[in-house]
Amino acid sequence: MNGSIYWLDGAPSPQPALGETLSADAVIVGGGFTGLATAIHLKRLQPEMEVVLLDAAAAGGGSSGRNLGLTPTPIGNRIIETLAGHGRETTAALHRAGLHGIELIERLCADYDIDCDFNAAGSILIATDPGEGELLQRQARAYAEIGAEAHLLDAGETARRFGAVETVAGLHLPCNRDLHPGKLVLGMKRAALALGVRIFDNSPCLEILAGDTVTVRTDKGEVRTAALALATGGYRGPVASLNRKIRQTYSYVIASEPLSNRQWDALAWPNRENIYSTHTQFWCLRTGRDGRLFMVDATNAHCPFDQNRDASNVPATYAKMSAFFHRRFPRLADLEFKRGWGGKIALTMDGLPSIGRLEALGNVHFAEGYSGRGVLMSQVAGQTMAERILGRELSFPDNPLLDRHRRDFPPNIAAWLGINLTFAKLRRQRRNA
Ligand SMILES: Cc1cc2nc3c(=O)[nH]c(=O)nc-3n(C[C@H](O)[C@H](O)[C@H](O)COP(=O)(O)OP(=O)(O)OC[C@H]3O[C@@H](n4cnc5c(N)ncnc54)[C@H](O)[C@@H]3O)c2cc1C
């Protein structure tokens, strides 16, 4: 297994790099879901606007083209903890923010003819012992408290929907989706170009000079602009104060060959919901339209000491993940996983992202720290940054992620130790579960 990303098979060649000095009404740094959504919303709202997007590599090739394509709200699988820590109103608003993200993707795909294999079957969390079953009951009560749909399934119904392992209960979350992240992000890149956004790939922003006019410098050119949006995801971007709020960790996906009919029968999975284990460091399975399986096992998440080291291709990890799958699903012992890849996750101290502005630098906006749950919130962040740049009323104003106070990570060694000790503790908890 190598690091070639299944979702990006057939991706077009990069756009030419910036090699001159330009002026633009708005510049976006970073061309993942966040940056492309910002660009698209700007052009929809103000078509005559000159919008430039700079990407250090190729727009679409960052985490947005590498993830598992699930659509958790910012709450993720931590509904009980979020309710306890933030209260009912904020938790409900975080959930609504996620649902707004789903609407944005649906509208985007309809308006720009993007087929991203949207699958609306929902998620099922599966419990394999009574303790996990009790946890699902508490989660169901927590979803009810915020008015969100979640249906407890008994052992029989869980087995009817996913019969590949012995389960005692399940929790169906119908609002969840899965999609083909490559088709979505590359479709967004196509749409942005068609709207007239000037995209420059291989154009890393190295420096930002503040003022009434903001100057964005790359290695070979610069753009002067009245408004800037920073959308560099889990990468280390050009603003040190933003980098201190996130810590780069890595997560990995493995992809199988298309399953045979016999293998599908062995999984007994008629509706193809995405399947999560109940652990904080969960494993998760989903299908693709051409009959492949994709898996993330969060126990392999990894935080390197050296934040400049790219740890996105780790074949030993893919082999470990594949061995775990075969232990968990012995009836599919012959299923081969031939592709594996990884990407950056921007972890924050409290596990929640932020959308804000850097007023000291001028009309400069940012969104970062999705902590592994960025598919939906990046769309909301892109719409928000575009509306703010244009001084428009916000479409989703009651978003608890706006302009919130965030803590810096401690210095490198402390952050590295803290995160790795937490990961190790969660791994132990899962082993002992
Ligand atoms: C393996 C994996 C699985 C995941 N699974 C899920 C999932 O199932 N569901 C979910 O919701 N989330 C998931 N995530 C997280 C999700 O992919 C991200 O939160 C989301 O894609 C972030 O989008 P983004 O646009 O902010 O960043 P990115 O897509 O990473 O884009 C950032 C871009 O900025 C560019 N850049 C960086 N620095 C500079 C610079 N100085 N100058 C110019 N450009 C720069 C990069 O080249 C990159 O293209 C997963 C992530 C990984 C890695």
CATH number of domain containing 279: 3.30.9.10
**Within a domain: 337:** yes
Please work out whether the CB of residue 102 comes within 6 Å of at least one atom of ligand 1: no
Cβ of 378 less than 6 Å from ligand 1: yes
Which of left, alpha, beta for 202 (phi over 0: left; psi -120 to 50: alpha)?
A: left
What pLDDT does residue 184 have?
A: 98
Q: How far apart are CA 42 and CA 368, in angstroms?
A: 19
In ligand 1, the atom with minimum distance to the C-alpha of 69 is 8
> For residue 211, what pLDDT is reported?
82
Q: How far is the CA of 63 from the centre of ligand 1 (A)?
A: 3
Q: Are residues 292 and 312 in the same domain?
A: yes
CATH number of the CATH domain containing 61 = 3.50.50.60
Give 344 Cα–ligand 1 centroid separation in angstroms: 7
Query: Do 399 and 425 share a domain, yes or no?
Result: no
User: What is the predicted pLDDT for the residue at 433?
Assistant: 64
Residue 101 buriedness (CB in 10 A; 0-12 / 13-18 / 19+): buried
Report yes or no on 200 lying in a domain. yes
84: in domain: no
* 278 and 156 in a common domain: yes
Q: Which residue of 7, 40, 53, 67 sits with most ligand 1 atoms within 8 Å of its CB, as the best mutation to test the pocket?
A: 67
3-state DSSP call for residue 39? helix
Same domain (yes/no): 363, 398: yes
Q: What is the reported pTM? A: 0.98
| Pocket probe mutation, ligand 1, options 232, 274, 308, max atoms within 8 Å of Cβ | 232
Q: What is the DSSP letter of 402?
A: B
Does the C-beta of 61 come closer than 6 Å to ligand 1? yes
Q: Is residue 288 part of a domain?
A: yes
Same structural domain, 255 and 239:
no
Nearest residue (CA) to ligand 1, atom 15: 372
- Are residue 17 and residue 161 in the same domain, yes or no? no
For residues 333 and 230, membership in a common domain is answered with no
Cβ(345) – ligand 1 distance below 6 Å: yes
The confidence score (pLDDT) of residue 77 equals 87
Task: Enumerate the β-bridge partners of residue 286.
Answer: 294
Position in ligand 1 atom list of the atom nearest CA 373: 11
Measured in Å, residue 346 CA sits from the centre of ligand 1 at: 8
Contact 240, 358 (CB under 8 A): no
Alpha carbon of 86 to ligand 1 centroid (Å): 26
Is ligand 1 within 6 A of the CB of residue 246? no
Residues 313 and 272 in one domain: yes
Q: Does residue 85 belong to any structural domain of this protein?
A: no
User: What's the domain count of the chain?
Assistant: 2
State if residue 185 touches ligand 1 by the CB under 6 angstroms criterion: no
The answer to whether 157 touches 126, Cβ cutoff 8 Å, is no
Looking at the structure, tell me whether residues 257 and 136 fall in a common domain: yes
Same domain, yes or no: 20 and 157: no
The two structure tokens encoding residue 316: 């030993």
Hey, what's the torsion of the CAs at 71, 365, 353, 87, to 10 degrees?
A: -110
Same domain for 129 and 60? no
- Ligand 1 and 243: CB distance under 6 A: no
Residue 77 belongs to a domain: no
Q: Is 177 close to ligand 1, i.e. is its CB under 6 Å away?
A: no
Q: How many whole angstroms from 236 Cα to the centroid of ligand 1? A: 12
Distance 249 CA to ligand 1 centre (A): 12
Query: Is 83 inside a domain boundary?
Result: no
Kindly state if the Cβ of 205 falls inside 6 Å of ligand 1: yes
- Report pLDDT for 245: 97
Question: For residue 299, what are the domain limits?
Answer: 120-178+247-347+421-432
Interval between CA 42 and ligand 1 midpoint (Å)? 20
H or E stretch including 424? helix 412-432
Q: Please indicate, yes or no, whether residues 227 and 272 belong to a single structural domain of this protein.
A: no
Residues listed for the chain: 433
Choose which residue among 71, 102, 375, 401 to substitute to test ligand 1 binding: the one with the highest number of ligand atoms within 8 A of its C-beta: 375
Strand ranges of the sheet holding 123-127, from the earlier edge strand across to the other edge: 151-154, 169-173, 123-127, 274-277, 283-287, 293-297, 247-256, 337-347
Q: Has residue 38 been placed in a domain?
A: yes
Query: 377, 402, 389, 355: which is closest to 42 by C-alpha?
Result: 389
Q: Is the CB of 135 under 6 A from ligand 1?
A: no
Residue 29's Cα: distance from chain center in Å?
18
Please, are residues 349 and 266 in contact by the beta-carbon 8 Å criterion? no
CB 35 less than 6 A from any atom of ligand 1: yes
Contact 34 CB / ligand 1 (< 6 Å): yes
Below-70 pLDDT ranges, the chain: 432-433
Buried b (16+ CB within 10 A) or exposed e, 228-241: bbbbbbbbebbbee
